[in-house]
A and B are shown apart, each in its own frame.
Chain A
């Protein structure tokens, strides 16, 4: 059994054992799907946009992955507070491996959460038009999961306690979600909005999932993939560096 595997396994066990957390993380995405999906559905249809739920579901899948993975990344702070971080940092293993195991574990959990939302959106009426693109969808989902788990870990490595968490929630996670095109189409946006959306990494994840599932990519699937892949590499490297510098 390797270090990476045992770190990964630990994240999964923790996820599996706290059912309340699993359920809690489903609440908001389901609420969004129902309230927005059905609430705006009629207007959207009238405006000529087609089926809103069809448009919205990929965005909400990306959202659930974003939330869960950022939360998993910041679990480093809990480990610091409950002391377990010391146990891993004092062991004769490279911190890079610990970081990789952690990130993959957190990302797997977020990925599973995304699949749950995917299934729930199908129950609510989302129709997959292109089944052959499911693997591509999963690839995009996993990339977002790794990217934001690594980002969460990087941020958490510089944080001493949970007090700054609302700050991250309101000034990072929420803007990332709302300004990503998860809720609205990217056509004919005001110029400043378009710029913001294009800076936001989640936009490429949302667009990728949407493109794969419903053939409605705005930015181009290949471009989405390249942007996400490169960003994931960069953020993981920064995260590994910051994590390796933690002192407890």
Chain B
């Protein structure tokens, strides 16, 4: 079954096309890596898939539901670890988890059991009553991953989940995600700049650049098509070696373009 499906998905900010008519599908139980240089449209795509942003055109189906008309059903279907932090710093680790559990209407018993299970897994159980503002970057990341898994989502969106994590934590996180992927058949949609990670875990890889999917296939297919030996080489061959402008968000991007090209 196709858990994520898009058809000609498009997002425009003014005249700037951030995501340009992309179509792809992700099967149940698959780990799907969505790679691309900075500003290629990865996060914009995730925001549209997760009901945070209205597409300008095209169709989306998540777990068979339409994010525009069946928002709540879509939202129940996925968990997400955002690119930037999204915890409440003033609350404790446990309170952040509890807050999430209430938002996803988990019963009291399940809530307690799962929070304990997950906090132990990310090794934060001993510090569950500390305010998150005292946590290091890595600890916050681990907490967010635990929180994203709390309601046992069918699909897990990971937007650069391992950014700023040490190799130990990265390893640990992947072990757990892979375990859930195997045992529960959880589908994973991943963006990352650590290509060796994608190489290790992804069943299929899509490479997006300038808002368009330029290649999609298994690791073997990508390497074969580009006649390269590693994903990194393939990636560079497909997207070129120029450094991209780093942009804060698509909206900033729009502003910059407006200043440079617009109002003369």
Contacts and interface: CB of A to CB of B under 8 A. Distances in A.
A17 B90 contact: yes
Contacts of A94: 72
Given A18-B90, A91-B75, A248 B104 contact: no
B95 A82 contact: no
Nearest to A79: B88
Contact of B50 (A10, A90, A160): A90
B72 A1 contact: no
Contacts of A247: 52-54
A83 B86 CA distance: 4
A215 interface: no
Interface in B207-222: none
Given A13-B90, A248-B52, A86 B103 contact: no
B224 to A, nearest CB: 38
Given A13-B90, A83-B84, A83-B85, A89 B52 contact: yes
B87 interface: yes
B87 A84 contact: yes
Residue among A3, A83, A93, A94 having the largest count of chain B Cβ atoms under 10 Å: A83
A216 interface: no
B52 A92 contact: no
A3 B103 contact: yes
B76 A92 contact: yes
A6 to B, nearest CB: 5
B176 interface: no
B72 to A, nearest CB: 4
Contacts of B103: 3, 6, 87-88, 91-93
Given A6-B99, A6-B102, A83-B85, A92 B90 contact: no
Interface in A150-199: 160
A14 interface: yes
A10 B88 contact: yes
A104 to B, nearest CB: 16
Contacts of A6: 98-99, 102-103
Contacts of B108: 1
B28 interface: no
Interface string A8-23: 0010011001100000
Categorize the interface residue count of chain A.
Answer: 20 to 34
Given A3-B102, A247-B53, A10 B91 contact: yes
A144 B99 CA distance: 28
B16 interface: no
Contact of A90 (B80, B84, B91, B99): B80
B181 to A, nearest CB: 21
Contacts of B91: 10, 13-14
Nearest to A94: B72
Interface in B66-98: 71-73, 75-76, 80, 82, 84-91, 95, 98
B117 to A, nearest CB: 20
Contacts of B50: 90
A25 to B, nearest CB: 16
Nearest to B157: A90
Interface string B51-65: 111100000000000
Contact of A82 (B52, B73, B85, B251): B85
Given A10-B99, A17-B131, A92 B104 contact: yes
A13 B95 contact: yes
Given A1-B102, A247-B53, A84 B72 contact: no
B193 interface: no
Contacts of A85: 86
Contacts of A90: 50-52, 75, 80
Nearest to A160: B251
B163 to A, nearest CB: 14
Nearest to B54: A247
B52 A86 contact: yes
B99 A86 contact: no
Nearest to A87: B86
12 contacts: A10-B99, A13-B95, A17-B90, A17-B131, A18-B90, A82-B89, A83-B86, A86-B52, A89-B52, A90-B52, A90-B80, A92-B75
Interface of A: 1-3, 6, 10, 13-14, 17-18, 82-94, 160, 247-248
* 6 closest residue pairs by CB, A with B: A92-B75, A83-B86, A91-B103, A92-B72, A6-B102, A92-B76
